[in-house]
Amino acid sequence: MLRKVSLGLIVVLAAACGSARVIQRTQSGGVIELSGDRGKAMEQANADMASHCGPNNFTIVQEGEEAVGTDTYSQENTQGQDHTSRNGRTTTTDQNTQGQTSTRTATAWRVHYQCNGAGGPPPPAAAGGPPPAGPGGPGGAPPPPPAGAGY
């Protein structure tokens, strides 16, 4: 009895928790699957997205149930019945087997997000100073010919 109560308590505690699992990640975003308590799982997903893109640097572009495969359930019942003759000399057995199979689409709650900007945490701010001059000097004009160059 104590074993059943302990097992039931573990199941209830597991159902109260939520978790997030990264399914796919690219430089510009990713997909996270939530399971269990959606509120708790979303807290973990937000932390995962912030660590990937930077704090408050991501946008959730899609969220909802998605088909992730199929589940198949099979059940088979066999029933047997013995029949004995009136004089008790012979016995026959009748067996009947019935089977049932059902398939359903398995789904999971998934969050698709993208990082704002080029992806990854924002780069640190550069130290001040004007940008370097482009080729040919200021304004992109070609440099003047060297002194004494004859044409």
- Average per-residue pLDDT for the chain: 78
Model confidence at 101: pLDDT above 80: yes
Whole domain around residue 45: which residue ranges?
Answer: 16-75+98-118
147 secondary structure, DSSP code: T
- In percent, the amount of the chain with pLDDT more than 70 equals 67
Q: Is residue 81 part of a domain?
A: no
Share of the chain above pLDDT 90, in %: 45
Q: Number of folded domains in the chain?
A: 1
Q: Determine, yes or no, domain membership for 30.
A: yes
* Residue whose pair of structure tokens reads 């928790």 in the numeric block: 17
In a domain, 129, yes or no: no
Higher pLDDT, 88 or 133: 88
- If 0-12 CB within 10 Å is exposed, 13-18 middle and 19+ buried, where does residue 44 land? middle
- Answer whether residue 29 is part of any domain: yes
The per-residue pLDDT for 63 is: 95
Burial 59-89 (b: 16+ CB within 10 A, else e): eeeeeeebeeeeeeeeeeeeeeeeeeeeeee
Q: Is residue 107 part of a domain?
A: yes
pLDDT digits (tens, 9 = 90+) for 9-67: 444 444 469 999 999 999 999 999 999 999 999 999 999 999 999 999 999 999 999 99
In a domain, 126, yes or no: no
The answer to whether the beta carbons of residues 81 and 97 sit under 8 Å apart is no
Q: How many CB atoms lie within 10 A of CB 36?
A: 15
Asked if 100 contacts 133 with a C-beta cutoff of 8 angstroms, the reply is no
Q: Which band of pLDDT confidence, cut at 50, 70 and 90, is reported for residue 7? A: very low
